[in-house]
Structure 1
């Protein structure tokens, strides 16, 4: 029940299917028992053991229901045998048995039919919610987590939860009811024999529960290891060029094999523990049946207190308990595995993002005056990357940030776009603290071009439409022209409908970067953030990209993070950063005249 509570909000939208499944399972359990009980009169007809009843019995209330049903069946058999012969009675009994088994299997199918919608619905909603959560969590979350582990949770773990949902309904409804109805029927046939059987059940239950005790822990270990080898696979595919270039195939093969070896060993332990359930419960069941044969046989042959037909019907009912008992032991293992998987899934879903919009967050639609960083301090781990940093970016001006690697330039881009939150100080847009704005409206005001051109395995058109979903083809072509990308795009086989491959790998670095710029151009935001947008390019590509950037930045507020100083000489203001603090600031001429840090950086790059 604790497991169902965990998944309650995912199950509620499909509860009608759960209710229909429970109703179908109740009828399945009922007709399973009746089908076995119906064997008794047929055997009595075959061996002539049935009680002869010539007068139709009268119903005298619920207390005498058992005698009434028994006498009524015997009356039908007696009157039919007298009129048409015993073979006709046997035919009626066979038709009754076939009808009951048909109804039993019909309701079994209906139960599975209804539960399918619940299981697949929960699976769909879980996957959708995890994906939405994955996209909403801050970037910092993924610097600590392995991507493969996230993939394992959204695929394998969610599937485990789906499978366990069928098991849990079998565990709490279908199989217990089948056992309950069978036990009621067994008590009806012989109280003495049933009490004898029940002496064996607690022993069986204790042994089965001991087998399953550590299953949740073992299942959790298997699922965690699956996340590790999926992470290795994801990293391998992402860094295949480096792996091959450094002849590191064997090292990564060894790492992957080490993980799959652990997965192999953990899975073997888990599966062997699961596989022990069925034979153990069956063996214990057969021991019970053997004891039943010995004790019940003496009641038929020696004491003469039980008819042969009643004893065979009783045996059928006793054996019928075995199947659901085995199913319960299997289902309990599935539920334990599903519980471990649910914990891993819910761990992501219950993770609270420190960057959630405030309940009273405002939506900002336009940029009118400036962006300010007011005494901002920030750290990723222990050491501060920015220390009391203050900067103003007036509307329509371009501010360039330069400095050595690790000086905090890219951190400013991450903070202004609110991929991270400041530890101290504040960032404001038009005197509005960005923490008081919705992230969606804040990022709508900004275009971002990074050093790594992040493109998707899709057409050029669909990649650029991320900038503006409803843009026309003409607008896309115009954006490509401004980004100096139309020249090569129009030569491609399918133009803007050409697929660019995984991460855009069918294109050169310069071409990918120009498509990233075209995407930002199409968005047409008032604020542009360029994070070392040309640092990874060759000279010719850099010239084309730089020209595209200048086209895009015209009459626009820009924060430019630059490694190559030649690209920012026309900036309205250049801020030189050292260890998270401002070393110098001014325009290009002023900084050269100061003969300080900036001039040394320029001279070093000129020399290079």
Structure 2
């Protein structure tokens, strides 16, 4: 129930609906019981079992309520008969219909109000889950499959709504129905009711045995669902490779194996779950059968119970079966919902190591420099940066070069605080970036990555990510700076053209120029360019390089470069090897040194 308590906090904003649901359920349970009890006067009239009572009975207290009700009914029927009214039976039928009508009206109202609560909780959990997913650091998701996260936001949350939150409907309604019914049964016959309740704990114990392993099986189903969603996500992302290497069978087998496991887990879970209803019904009917035998003795042999009352009593006993079955099914729902809630709350309860400090400062300008002081960093066990120190003055362009794995892109990840350093400190204007809010730190920076990241939307909306309140004129100006306006203006719908999934409707060079335009539109004082031209052909590279040079004018830039021809005009070039600086200087100075930089230039010249 720990998970259930944590999920319940999402119900607080909707508590008015919970209160209205409880009120409706109280009346539902009351009229549900009265509907069965109202059959007694009808049966009494029908079998002509009413005694003639001419004096109005007196109320003798709660413990005499049964005798008072019987006497008052007999008095009422006698009065009607003496008035020559032969429509007593019609009145009794109307009474029964009215009770059942009110029961169903309040049943509908209870479901009506709980709908707002359930769907509200579903919406708020999904929203918080999405916000948490976006807030968590990149390192959290490097160890998890995307499909598993998607499964938690979609199917697991839905499972919580279907199985877990259905308990909210049952917490009041079914127990109240049982309590009111038991009260009515006790009024009719204490002896018979005690006899019935000897058997209920036995049937409850048998039902509970079925559900013990339900959470385990439910957990397996949800994990496997996350796994095959991951395969689908990876397949869609890598279709070119799959088709190009004729690997359809490999991925088909992987997906087929996963769905087979899902099939087996689901069969086990559903069959165990489906056993609940017939088991509880059979046990209930067994109790009714024993009750028929025992009650029949009281009616026929002992003559201690009126036959009409016994029929009503049987109806009340059966009336307990429906809520009892619902409660037993709900207990399975708790176990299934527990597994789903555990997976959802695992994300919600994760504390981000990059969370802003309570005293985090806001910074809106950049005035001096960026300093990396003796920083060391490791993704897992091995350090990729060791005692690395670098100063980037305002208005200067600093390029980081080196072979793959030398730690260049790690610098970009650390300066933007996608990760935190293990040792040392990174400062902007002499303030540790960990003392700044992430929002204001990243507000000072524009990022252009090696793989241009565009969203399945219009060119306009992709640009507005950089500056949500930008005018159309500002967007066009940014596109011109990025050498992108030429191809955008020729599109039938201009900036309202859809770029496709991940920008697939555009060429690589066009995608990258849009990424640059987005950064230009943001107009930040600091630019981080992470191998922005490495994936481009020569013509596209020339246009993108020109766009980058336009963008970097009068800006502070950290450029991570693969192609050395693109950074020859940088104010400082830093050559890295195995997380350390081996050389630094301008292009001319480093060529003159004839060292590591000269080797890289020679290798690239030879390759080209």
Please report how far the alpha carbon of residue 175 of structure 1 lies from its aligned counterpart in structure 2 after TM superposition.
Answer: 1.1
> Using the alignment, how far apart are the partners of 1:426 and 1:312 within structure 2?
83
1:69 aligns to what? Answer: 69
RMSD: 1.1
Please report how far the alpha carbon of residue 522 of structure 1 lies from its aligned counterpart in structure 2 after TM superposition.
Answer: 0.4
Summarize deviations over 1:201-259 as a string: whole Å, max 9, x none. Answer: 11101100111111112111111111111111111111111111111111111111111
1:104 aligns to what? Answer: 103
> Using the alignment, how far apart are the partners of 1:6 and 1:522 within structure 2?
43
Please report how far the alpha carbon of residue 69 of structure 1 lies from its aligned counterpart in structure 2 after TM superposition.
Answer: 1.8
Q: Superposed, which structure 2 residues align to 1:179-198 within 5 Å?
A: 179-198=178-197
1:362 aligns to what? Answer: 361
Task: Answer with 356-365 or 335-344: which moved more.
Answer: 335-344
1:216 aligns to what? Answer: 215
Q: Superposed, which structure 2 residues align to 1:130-169 within 5 Å?
A: 130-169=129-168
1:563 aligns to what? Answer: 562
> Using the alignment, how far apart are the partners of 2:499 and 2:598 within structure 1?
41
Q: Superposed, which structure 2 residues align to 1:250-269 within 5 Å?
A: 250-269=249-268
1:16 aligns to what? Answer: 16
2:41 aligns to what? Answer: 41
2:461 aligns to what? Answer: 462
Please report how far the alpha carbon of residue 165 of structure 1 lies from its aligned counterpart in structure 2 after TM superposition.
Answer: 4.5
Residue 384 (str. 1) matches residue 380 (str. 2): no
> Using the alignment, how far apart are the partners of 2:395 and 2:15 within structure 1?
57
Name the SS for the 2:87 alignment partner: helix
Residue 236 (str. 1) matches residue 235 (str. 2): yes
Task: Answer with 160-169 or 283-292: which moved more.
Answer: 160-169
Please report how far the alpha carbon of residue 56 of structure 1 lies from its aligned counterpart in structure 2 after TM superposition.
Answer: 1.6
1:508 aligns to what? Answer: 507
Return the TM-score normalized by structure 2: 0.98
Name the SS for the 2:90 alignment partner: helix
1:129 aligns to what? Answer: 128
Summarize deviations over 1:87-132 as a string: whole Å, max 9, x none. Answer: 5111111000000001100111111011101100100100000000
> Using the alignment, how far apart are the partners of 2:165 and 2:157 within structure 1?
14
2:525 aligns to what? Answer: 526
Residue 313 (str. 1) matches residue 317 (str. 2): no
Q: Superposed, which structure 2 residues align to 1:430-509 within 5 Å?
A: 430-509=429-508
Please report how far the alpha carbon of residue 184 of structure 1 lies from its aligned counterpart in structure 2 after TM superposition.
Answer: 1.1
Task: Answer with 70-79 or 149-158: which moved more.
Answer: 70-79
Counterpart contact for 2:450–2:531, Cα < 8 Å: yes
Task: Answer with 194-203 or 391-400: which moved more.
Answer: 194-203
Name the SS for the 1:84 alignment partner: coil
2:421 aligns to what? Answer: 422
Summarize deviations over 1:61-91 as a string: whole Å, max 9, x none. Answer: 3333322222111111122233335x51111
> Using the alignment, how far apart are the partners of 2:189 and 2:366 within structure 1?
86
Task: Answer with 48-57 or 527-536: which moved more.
Answer: 48-57
Counterpart contact for 2:574–2:585, Cα < 8 Å: yes
Please report how far the alpha carbon of residue 353 of structure 1 lies from its aligned counterpart in structure 2 after TM superposition.
Answer: 0.4
Please report how far the alpha carbon of residue 29 of structure 1 lies from its aligned counterpart in structure 2 after TM superposition.
Answer: 1.0
Residue 603 (str. 1) matches residue 606 (str. 2): no
> Using the alignment, how far apart are the partners of 1:352 and 1:158 within structure 2?
20
> Using the alignment, how far apart are the partners of 2:591 and 2:368 within structure 1?
29
Summarize deviations over 1:16-65 as a string: whole Å, max 9, x none. Answer: 21121111111111111111011111111111112221222122333333
Residue 84 (str. 1) matches residue 84 (str. 2): yes
The answer for unaligned runs of 5 or more in structure 2 is none
Summarize deviations over 1:305-346 as a string: whole Å, max 9, x none. Answer: 111110100000011111111111111111211122111111
Return the TM-score normalized by structure 1: 0.98
Name the SS for the 1:528 alignment partner: strand
Counterpart contact for 1:158–1:341, Cα < 8 Å: yes
Runs of 4+ in 1 over 6 A off after TM superposition: none
Counterpart contact for 1:170–1:328, Cα < 8 Å: no
Counterpart contact for 2:65–2:187, Cα < 8 Å: no
1:29 aligns to what? Answer: 29
> Using the alignment, how far apart are the partners of 1:530 and 1:170 within structure 2?
55
2:51 aligns to what? Answer: 51
> Using the alignment, how far apart are the partners of 2:62 and 2:303 within structure 1?
28
> Using the alignment, how far apart are the partners of 2:447 and 2:2 within structure 1?
46
Name the SS for the 1:422 alignment partner: coil
> Using the alignment, how far apart are the partners of 1:84 and 1:163 within structure 2?
56
Counterpart contact for 2:35–2:96, Cα < 8 Å: yes
Q: Superposed, which structure 2 residues align to 1:246-285 within 5 Å?
A: 246-285=245-284
> Using the alignment, how far apart are the partners of 2:202 and 2:64 within structure 1?
35
Counterpart contact for 1:362–1:438, Cα < 8 Å: yes
> Using the alignment, how far apart are the partners of 2:218 and 2:48 within structure 1?
56
> Using the alignment, how far apart are the partners of 1:315 and 1:81 within structure 2?
29
> Using the alignment, how far apart are the partners of 1:504 and 1:7 within structure 2?
38
> Using the alignment, how far apart are the partners of 1:393 and 1:583 within structure 2?
17
Number of aligned pairs?
607
1:289 aligns to what? Answer: 288
Counterpart contact for 1:115–1:166, Cα < 8 Å: no
> Using the alignment, how far apart are the partners of 1:278 and 1:3 within structure 2?
25
Summarize deviations over 1:237-290 as a string: whole Å, max 9, x none. Answer: 111111111111111111111111111111111111110001001101111111
Please report how far the alpha carbon of residue 437 of structure 1 lies from its aligned counterpart in structure 2 after TM superposition.
Answer: 0.7
> Using the alignment, how far apart are the partners of 1:61 and 1:221 within structure 2?
57
Task: Answer with 124-133 or 233-242: which moved more.
Answer: 233-242
* Alignment CA distance shift 1:548-1:3 (3 Å): closer
Please report how far the alpha carbon of residue 3 of structure 1 lies from its aligned counterpart in structure 2 after TM superposition.
Answer: 4.2
Task: Answer with 167-176 or 400-409: which moved more.
Answer: 167-176
